[in-house]
Amino acid sequence: MDTHYFQAVYDVVRCIPRGRVTSYGAIADFLGLGSARMVGWALRNSILTESDLPAHRVLNRNGELTGRAHFTPPERMEALLKEEGVPVVDSRVPDFDQRWWHPRELAEES
């Protein structure tokens, strides 16, 4: 598969700090993909090709774990977040605002 932008998405996801989360829109915005759905596509594909990717740190803009259905088992996404100290209530991160991380911080660091 020569979809280079998939790799770009993986790179960003891999850089998300432990205990922090981000949204599909933030990644799409940072990479200039134009659509958050592209990020969803990349992440769905990552389940098959990038098993070590911390995809559980990517939520939708409401802080909901909309992608958990693609994990095996689905509870794994929630478990991984809790393991990192991120509270999950009813498939959602209550303090999403405070834990939200924008890829822009990555560019500012380097």
For residue 79, state whether it binds DNA (rule: CB under 7 A): no
Residue span binding DNA (CB under 7 A) among the ranges 65-73, 84-92, 96-104: 65-73
Q: Output the smallest distance, CB 107 to DNA, in A.
A: 19
d(CA 95, CA 62) in angstroms, rounded, equals: 10
- 60 near 43, Cβ under 8 Å? no
For residue 18, the Cα-to-chain-centroid distance in whole angstroms is 12
Q: Does 30 interact with DNA (rule: CB under 7 A)?
A: no
Q: Is 24 left (phi over 0), alpha (psi -120 to 50) or beta?
A: alpha
Instruction: Supply the minimum distance, in Å, between the C-beta of residue 10 and DNA.
Output: 11
Residues that bind DNA (CB under 7 A): 1, 3, 5, 23-25, 28, 33-41, 43-44, 46-47, 55-56, 58, 60-62, 66-67, 69-71
